[in-house]
Amino acid sequence: MIKHLSIKIYGKVQGVFFRQSAYEEASRLGINGTVKNIPDGTVLVEAEADEDKLEEFLDWCKSGPEHAYVEKIETTPGEVQNYQGFQIA
């Protein structure tokens, strides 16, 4: 069953290729959604997939790409939006 998660990532997550790396990881896992930088310095991911894939993606988000420093992540479940593919916004 497809689920939707909003994932807000805090720390040194802008200017370290977080969005591109998230795109590559989401594509590898077959996750649909979007990733974008937020003016407050965080990164916001909207992700849709089955629970196992989302858990694997969340594990990746906890560390992110090589030069990122993730302080914390917040997840909020939501209604499935039926994204087609994964986009960098």
CATH of the domain at 36: 3.30.70.100
**Number of residues that this document lists for the chain:** 89
Rounded distance, CA 81 to CA 12, Å? 28
2: β partners = 50
Tens-digit pLDDT profile for residues 1-54: 999 999 999 999 999 999 999 999 999 999 999 999 999 999 999 999 999 999
In a domain? residue 89: no
Q: Does residue 37 carry a catalytic annotation? A: yes
Q: Which two tokens stand for residue 10?
A: 């805090």
Specify if 58 maps to a domain: yes
Q: What are the pLDDT digits (tens) for 47-72? A: 999 999 999 999 999 999 999 999 99
Instruction: Single out the residue of 1, 51, 45 nearest to residue 24, CA to CA.
Output: 45
Residue among 19, 28, 32, 82 flagged as catalytic: 19
In which domain, by residue range, is 59 found? 2-80
Question: What is the model's pTM?
Answer: 0.96
Looking from the CA of 77 toward its CB, the CA atoms found within 13 Å total: 5
Residue 87 lies in a domain: no
Q: How many domains does the chain have?
A: 1
Q: Is 82 a catalytic residue?
A: no
